[in-house]
Amino acid sequence: MTGPCFVDANVLVYSIDVTEPLKQQLAQALLDRLWRQECARSSIQAVNEFYSVVTRKLRHVITPQDAWARVEALLEWNPQPVDATLLRRASVIEMRHKLSWWDSLIVAAARLQHCALLYSEDLQHGAVLDGVKIVNPFVAEVQEDPAQYGAQLLSPHRPRGRPRKRAA
């Protein structure tokens, strides 16, 4: 079983965003796995952002009633509340890592819930902030094994060294 993993609002939004089918598929697969393993975590801030985005920017995708039903499901994750402990931790993270206040709150919420991974598109993939590794689920899948996509990766740069003689 995987340890607790924090899910940021953008991953939640992409899970229903039909205008981004690849990201939607990846986000849904991630959320399905985290639900099955019962290791998903989030915060009240992320849940609020999810509801706001899907009912204002993605109105054509989901009704407010359906969005609220999803919020009710997310509340089962016991999202990290915005309280004095979170604010103090976020303040330290903001100063230490020079993050925005909102990103600091997300990292602090992940840390307070003992998450080793934070799934987000908004932070630097692979960075470790306050002991939490940032994973962009939309980049991670592509970087794992380029060979599985059947395309050769060609460098745009000239090869170094002396050109090799071709066999006659």
Is residue 109 situated within a structural domain?
A: yes
Is residue 35 situated within a structural domain?
A: yes
Query: Helices 84-97 and 101-112: crossing angle, nearest 10°?
Result: 120
Is residue 85 situated within a structural domain?
A: yes
Is residue 161 situated within a structural domain?
A: no
Average pLDDT over residues 21-50: 96
Q: Is the pLDDT of residue 151 over 60?
A: no
Average pLDDT over residues 40-47: 98
Give me the pLDDT at residue 167, please: 56
List, for residues 52-102, the tens digit of each pLDDT value.
Answer: 999 999 878 789 999 999 999 999 999 999 999 999 999 999 999 999 999
Contact status, residue 118 vs residue 135, Cβ threshold 8 Å: yes
Q: What's the total number of domains in the chain?
A: 1
Mean pLDDT over all residues of the chain?
A: 86
Range of the domain at 40: 5-142
Sign of CA dihedral 87, 91, 96, 97: positive
Contact status, residue 94 vs residue 101, Cβ threshold 8 Å: yes
The CATH number of the domain where 41 resides is what?
A: 3.40.50.1010
Percent of residues in the chain assigned helix, strand, coil, to nearest 5: 50, 10, 40
Is residue 148 situated within a structural domain?
A: no
Average pLDDT over residues 134-149: 61
Backbone angles phi, psi at 128, to 5 degrees: -115, 115
Higher-confidence residue of 119 and 144: namely 119
Is residue 132 situated within a structural domain?
A: yes
| Tokens coding 1 | 């079983």
Is residue 160 situated within a structural domain?
A: no
Amino acid at 89: R
Is residue 166 situated within a structural domain?
A: no
